[in-house]
A = this chain, B = another copy of it.
């Protein structure tokens, strides 16, 4: 041993081990710390021999650069924040997987911010971002960090690349990744009409939802394209939850003149609605066809298996992450990406009796 302390291995006494530093590597490779750093960051700026010695030393010591130091100096964290309203919702978690995947490949880590409906948390994550703990963020919540809300104190300005995913953020000038909701709703409506349905009900999402507007527009366009007139009494309000589907079902069952088909703008609502119909002694699709939206896991397992619209969730996540990475690395990125959906035909829809 050469007397200079600081080893990478654990000592026999209980002294806490200190990680190898760039200096240790430099000493071992008999070069300066600058050369070590360069050998890693821009290999073509050092001679092949030096590079080889450095790599050898790194392998021997198991050196890993200290991210805090690196980040302090270079103002980069290689971390991305993903903000979403509800982590427990499968719809999001599949998207998250796509995001994580792509970020991982690009060398970025993913930090999750679950808002849980709390504005306090939203503010926290905004501050978090402003503090420079992440290089960029993906927003799944349809808000821009309470930017335009009445908040206390100086609303820390967020100056890093942002990407909006799924939920559009009105008025924000950031790239948006989404599914073509209008087109999807139109296609489903036309699918129902093409089977012979004339009275097609629509169970909506929350009225203030941007997605909802698009889907509703698609529904009306679909009706028009098939020469059907729009009947406001066939629109039943919902909020994407299973419970609201149950309620919508009750509304429809109590009607004199029932629709022959119902287009629900979420699978959960469709499943709730089917349940109500069953309780009322009706069967699906014989007495009424029911279509959903999203193609969640259980759409296929439901009884009857649900005809619905598949959203490419993993791909949505990948696309958003990939746009963000482009922005982070100074490349150009499209302002808007619209992914295609797919009509998934199963058993809950049939021709009217």
Chain A residues with a Cβ under 8 A of chain B:
10, 16-17, 19, 59, 62, 64-69, 71-72, 77, 79, 86-90, 92-94, 96-97, 100-101, 104, 109-112, 114, 116, 121, 124, 127-128, 130-133, 153-154, 156-157, 159, 242, 268, 271-272, 275, 278, 297-298, 301-303
Whether B159 pairs with A301 at a CB distance below 8 angstroms is no
Whether A131 pairs with B17 at a CB distance below 8 angstroms is no
Whether B68 pairs with A96 at a CB distance below 8 angstroms is no
- For this complex, 11 residue pairs linking A to B, each with C-beta atoms less than 8 Å apart, are A17-B159, A19-B132, A64-B156, A68-B68, A87-B93, A87-B97, A104-B121, A109-B128, A109-B133, A111-B111, A272-B301
Whether B132 pairs with A104 at a CB distance below 8 angstroms is no
Contact residues in B for A154 (Cβ distance below 8 Å): 62
Q: How far is the CB of A73 from chain B (nearest CB, A)?
A: 8
Indicate whether A68 sits within 8 Å of B71 (C-beta atoms), given known contacts A114-B97, A275-B303.
Answer: yes
Indicate whether A66 sits within 8 Å of B72 (C-beta atoms), given known contacts A93-B88, A121-B104, A303-B275.
Answer: yes
Q: How far is the CB of A106 from chain B (nearest CB, A)?
A: 13
In the complex, besides A66-B132, A68-B71, A302-B302, 11 extra interface pairs with C-beta distance below 8 angstroms are: A19-B130, A59-B153, A67-B133, A68-B68, A79-B111, A87-B97, A101-B114, A101-B116, A112-B112, A278-B303, A303-B303
Q: Which of A127, A131, A268, A275 has the most CB of B within 10 A?
A: A131
Bound: A302/B301 CA distance, A: 9
How many copies of the chain does the oligomer comprise?
Answer: 2
Bound: A90/B298 CA distance, A: 11
User: Which residue in chain B gives the minimum CB-CB distance to A156?
Assistant: B62
User: Which residue in chain B gives the minimum CB-CB distance to A246?
Assistant: B301
Contact residues in B for A93 (Cβ distance below 8 Å): 87-90, 92-93
Q: How far is the CB of A25 from chain B (nearest CB, A)?
A: 13
Whether B112 pairs with A62 at a CB distance below 8 angstroms is no
User: Which residue in chain B gives the minimum CB-CB distance to A58?
Assistant: B153
Whether B87 pairs with A104 at a CB distance below 8 angstroms is no
Bound: A325/B116 CA distance, A: 21
Contact residues in B for A124 (Cβ distance below 8 Å): 104
Q: Which of A94, A109, A242, A278 has the most CB of B within 10 A?
A: A109
User: Which residue in chain B gives the minimum CB-CB distance to A104?
Assistant: B121
Bound: A110/B93 CA distance, A: 15
Q: How far is the CB of A133 from chain B (nearest CB, A)?
A: 5
Bound: A197/B268 CA distance, A: 34
Indicate whether A131 sits within 8 Å of B10 (C-beta atoms), given known contacts A16-B159, A59-B153, A90-B90.
Answer: no
Bound: A94/B128 CA distance, A: 23
Contact residues in B for A132 (Cβ distance below 8 Å): 19, 66-68
Bound: A278/B305 CA distance, A: 13
The 9 closest A-B pairs by CB, nearest first: A62-B154, A68-B71, A68-B72, A64-B131, A93-B93, A88-B94, A298-B298, A87-B97, A303-B303
Contact residues in B for A153 (Cβ distance below 8 Å): 59, 62
Contact residues in B for A10 (Cβ distance below 8 Å): 157
